[in-house]
Amino acid sequence: MTLAGAGAAKTRRVRIGTFLRLLPLHNAVRLAEDAATVDVISKGRFDLGIGKGYASHEFLGYGISRKERASRFEEGIEVSRGIWTRDPFSFQGKHYDLRDIRLTPKPVQQPHPPLWVGALNPKAVDRAARLGCHYLGVGDASVYDEALRRYGRNPWDFDVAQLVWTQITPVRDQAWDEAQEHVHWMLKVYGEWLG
């Protein structure tokens, strides 16, 4: 969020966003406050990308049970939207017990900055659609469109961003020669986490 704020302060037109903040690992009130601040700094150009997470070591590092990730994620979205749009805001759930809290300043974008959910598997894609969030993906977006329709939402009202790795060089073979070792390492690490 610090980098997003710095980018927002140095630019005037480009949208600023996070590809993926693992919401269950963060306090939703703090994240919503930080997102509102970046939205104010950017004059309404901020997008918040969030995910549920999956890698065990990330949860161990924060002392949070991986089994709580879905409930923390969904409560975190509800808390974020509430603190951005209601004043005062109260919430009682499994992970948050909030009484009459107020957020100042509110985000510039109304009702709040766009929420993007990272999802890989069909269940996660369905969750993004059910929660009314935009989709950060790496594959076929038609599953997301179908899920949006199932929940009575119009796919034309939502956006999809795909993660694409690039390497720019004058010649295609040079790009692969320079990037292949790094891409192989990254995919190996992600494969181990998913395993």
So what's the pLDDT on residue 172? 87
Give the span between the Cα atoms of 84 and 106, in whole angstroms.
Answer: 6
So what's the pLDDT on residue 148? 97
* Per-residue tokens: 12: 């005037």
> Nearest Cα to 51, choosing from 64, 69, 33?
69
So what's the pLDDT on residue 43? 98
So what's the pLDDT on residue 51? 95
So what's the pLDDT on residue 96? 98
Work out the widest C-alpha separation in the chain, in whole angstroms: 59
Which phi-psi region, left, alpha or beta, contains residue 20 (left: φ > 0; alpha: ψ -120 to 50)?
beta
What is the pLDDT tens value at each position of the chain, 195 positions in all? 999 999 999 999 999 999 889 999 999 999 999 999 999 999 999 999 999 998 888 899 999 999 999 999 999 999 999 999 999 999 999 999 999 999 999 999 999 999 999 998 899 999 999 999 999 987 778 999 999 999 999 999 999 998 877 888 999 889 989 999 998 998 898 888 777
So what's the pLDDT on residue 74? 97
Residue type (1 letter), 140: D
- Strand pairing partners for 101? 89
Residue 126 exposure: Cα atoms within 13 Å on the Cβ side:
4
So what's the pLDDT on residue 73? 97
So what's the pLDDT on residue 93? 97
